[in-house]
Structure 1
Amino acid sequence: MGNATHVTIVYQLAADSRSQAEQIAENISIEQSVEMPAGTVPASASASLPTIEKVDPIDENLWKAVIHYPVSIIDGDPTQFLNVLYGNISLLDGIKLLDVHDQYFAELLSGPAFGIQGIRKLLNVHTRPLSCTALKPVGLSAVELAGRAGQFARGGIDIIKDDHGLADQSTAAFTERVSNCLKAIRDGEQHSGKRTCYFPNITTSPARLFSRFQLAVDLGAEGVLISPQLTGIEAMHEIAKTAQVPVMAHPAFSGPYVIPKSTGFSMELYYGKLWRAFGADAIIYPNAGGRFTFSKETCQALNQQIRKDFCIFKPSFPVPAGGIDLVSIPDWIKEYGKETIFLVGGSLYKQDTGIEQATATFQQMLGPDE
């Protein structure tokens, strides 16, 4: 399959001494490959054993281990790739994945089908930051949600995504909601004079996911929202490979993978590398200063990872969200730059001027498309 012979994984280990750290690295290499005592591995399976490149100190009682796994134990299967990354060791404390070297990703995965430039082309917006909002709340009827979508479109919003809590509830069943919202958005575009794209939430069980995706496309949705931690990350990859519409990834259910300091993944690896490699054209994450606890430095590092050169993959759009106040948008533009989709939800709903005017104000803050 390709030229890569090994997958290189970088871990952070909690250990009191070098000898303990080296033993943990040895245990990881066995646990994530042959899963049996080293002395009992048959000679014919010895090629499946990883090699430990180094174990170096990071800080007090923290170590970095670099381990090379033969690609033969993955054999071109994206799900097995995830298993090798964080299978049994996800059950152990004190092990955090910091990075996976780039060389194998492009042989295994296809990355975003659209990326930054594809979404910009869809909207015919080429230089300024993009705006996004969340259609909510769950419990409103399809007609009521469509009324809100129409107001956002009249105000000139770039992207309307469903709230991740909107599924196929009886109050606003999927087909009825998508149909009504698209009609309202098309009407709103006549007032704004610009394109507004709608990304309905297709997250559901595996048995229904692809039919719901195709239904959204057939109804005319310009993109889709998916929560890959709920559907399975490879399901997002399969949808992205169809290259029909952009995929926006939502972080619901992923917190335990990125929040702990001593287990899980770095945000840059999990959202910035894995989700991008598995096909996310735009990646929503909890921004600093909002309802969640991520630092500005962490968010900035994630932004850079989502956009920067990575194998042959197109750059994705970072989508900071989670309680961004409308008045703070100019400051966040200075912080994060123009290649960003700013997702503002509640702050638009609470403006005294109403949704349409609040959205128009949001658009003005983003500046002209030069």
Structure 2
Amino acid sequence: MPKDMINVVYTIKNDGRDIKKLAHNIAVGQTIGIWNELSGNVRLQISKHLAEVVSIEESSFTSTVKIAFPIENFGSDLGALLTAVYGKISLVPKIKLEDIEFSQNYLNLFKGPRFGISGIRDQLGKKEKPLLMSIFKPCLGLSHGELGNMFYEQAEAGIDIVKDDEILYDKDFNQTLKRLEACLGAKEKAKAKTIYAINLTGQANEILDRAVQLEKNGALCILFNYVSYGLPLLTSLRQTVSIPIMAHPAFAGAICMGSTSGLSEQLLLAKLPRIAGADFVLFPSQYGSLSWEKNIVLSINKELTKPLIHIKPSWPVPSAGIKANMVKEIILDFGEDIVINAGTAVWEHKDGGLAGAKEFIKEVESLNLVSPRSS
């Protein structure tokens, strides 16, 4: 019976190494450990677990190596997947994990986003146009009551989503449940559909229980630092709660910013969180304070939204330094199925947060929406 496989793509810097030998060592070392030294009977017994080199494309500076790994080795455990395909190989210089080509059988192991783009639109009663999101700024030092007042202001203005900053934790000066209560009260007072994305933090053995507690207390969306806390926990979170999950990329730069090592941006910031169940995924934009390369940003957007069997699309949330005068450019690049992460610019407005929110809303309302332009 043929093995059920997924293809894993690496780029390897050409620096005198024997690429064919290196590819063979990856295939063997990341699966069964040894091969040539084994007897025929043992080989037959464990051969179904052996990875296979599919192709090697060599060029002047880099080689692209594709290796097929048996799904049986790791199943739906994303921690096991990453350990299998890149674990100790990540410690070898100048080998980058570019892509994982998921088979249909592998994707069938995952549920993906619970709501996706259309489900969130249904919640908000907003069938078209980009969504607008603001973030609590300043993020530390304010009481839950003060944040509740800020939420009310944003909901009154017509902002679709207000999220915690990723560094707003559950602390004595601002406890998560009290913050949730204050923001839900503000939402009711404003008679708004605004979604509050509350930051879920804590020790690993507490996270899922805390998520359940937040949902029971009325939370409508969870913000989760999935790179810091781990993809397997994101998958478990998707299976545990029935509210949307917003995936934040904090710490991702340590993993995906290397030109010759680490994971590619579209794999870490799109493919993996999408199958794990994130309804929204934040990533740096090409416009603001981080200014990533446009082709990388658009490839992330494509991976989040392209058809993928039963897996719903995730909302792309290009972020960092977004200002109101960038709204037209954002819509031209991404189309209307996008969350415009207004962030700090809302609160830096000379007339305050309410005026800052309305400025973004005015920019969106004034535009005739178009399909994304081709890059």
Q: Same fold (TM over 0.5)?
A: yes
Deviation of residue 4 (structure 1)? 6.8
Match of 2:140 among 116, 138, 141: 138
Match of 1:280 in 2: 278
Match of 2:189 among 176, 180, 187: 187
Deviation of residue 251 (structure 1)? 0.3
Match of 2:344 in 1: 346
Match of 1:125 in 2: 126
Aligned 1:4-153 pairs, distance under 5 A: 5-16=4-15, 20-36=18-34, 38-40=36-38, 42-43=42-43, 44-57=45-58, 59-103=59-103, 104-136=105-137, 137-153=139-155
2:162 partner SS: strand
Indicate conservation of the 8 Å contact 1:113/1:243, yes or no. no
Deviation of residue 243 (structure 1)? 5.3
Whole-Å separation in 2 of the counterparts to 1:182 and 1:293: 34
Indicate conservation of the 8 Å contact 1:54/1:66, yes or no. yes
Aligned 1:194-205 pairs, distance under 5 A: 194-205=192-203
Whole-Å separation in 2 of the counterparts to 1:132 and 1:339: 13
Indicate conservation of the 8 Å contact 1:34/1:48, yes or no. yes
Q: Which amino acid aligns with 1:124?
A: G
Indicate conservation of the 8 Å contact 2:77/2:232, yes or no. no
2:151 partner SS: helix
2:99 partner SS: strand
Deviation of residue 315 (structure 1)? 0.6
Deviation of residue 176 (structure 1)? 0.8
Indicate conservation of the 8 Å contact 1:14/1:62, yes or no. yes
| Residues 41-72 of structure 1 deviation map (CA, whole Å, 9 limit, x = unaligned) | 74222332111011002x53211111111222
| Residues 257-284 of structure 1 deviation map (CA, whole Å, 9 limit, x = unaligned) | 2111111111112221111000111100
Unmatched tracts of structure 2, length 5 or more = 370-375
Whole-Å separation in 2 of the counterparts to 1:245 and 1:323: 28
Q: Which amino acid aligns with 1:116?
A: I
Aligned 1:226-237 pairs, distance under 5 A: 226-237=224-235
1:39 partner SS: coil
Indicate conservation of the 8 Å contact 1:109/1:278, yes or no. yes
Unmatched tracts of structure 1, length 5 or more = none
Deviation of residue 106 (structure 1)? 1.5
Indicate conservation of the 8 Å contact 1:102/1:310, yes or no. no
Indicate conservation of the 8 Å contact 2:170/2:201, yes or no. no
Shift in CA distance, 4/199, structure 1 to aligned 2, threshold 3 Å: farther
Match of 2:372 in 1: none
2:128 partner SS: coil
Whole-Å separation in 2 of the counterparts to 1:80 and 1:275: 15
Match of 1:359 in 2: 357
Q: Which amino acid aligns with 2:10?
A: Y
Whole-Å separation in 2 of the counterparts to 1:32 and 1:157: 48
Using structure 1 for the length normalisation, give the TM-score.
Answer: 0.92
Whole-Å separation in 2 of the counterparts to 1:337 and 1:203: 33
| Alignment partner of 1:176 is 2:174 | no
1:171 partner SS: coil
Match of 1:310 in 2: 308
Indicate conservation of the 8 Å contact 2:5/2:69, yes or no. yes
Indicate conservation of the 8 Å contact 1:205/1:231, yes or no. no
For the aligned residues, what is the CA RMSD?
A: 2.0
Q: Which amino acid aligns with 2:223?
A: L
1:213 partner SS: helix
Match of 1:262 in 2: 260
Q: Which amino acid aligns with 2:182?
A: N
Count residues in correspondence. Answer: 362
Deviation of residue 224 (structure 1)? 0.6
Indicate conservation of the 8 Å contact 1:204/1:231, yes or no. no
- Which deviates more, 42-51 or 60-69? 42-51
Deviation of residue 5 (structure 1)? 0.8
Shift in CA distance, 76/168, structure 1 to aligned 2, threshold 3 Å: closer
| Residues 220-257 of structure 1 deviation map (CA, whole Å, 9 limit, x = unaligned) | 12111001112221111111124511100000112122
Deviation of residue 293 (structure 1)? 4.5
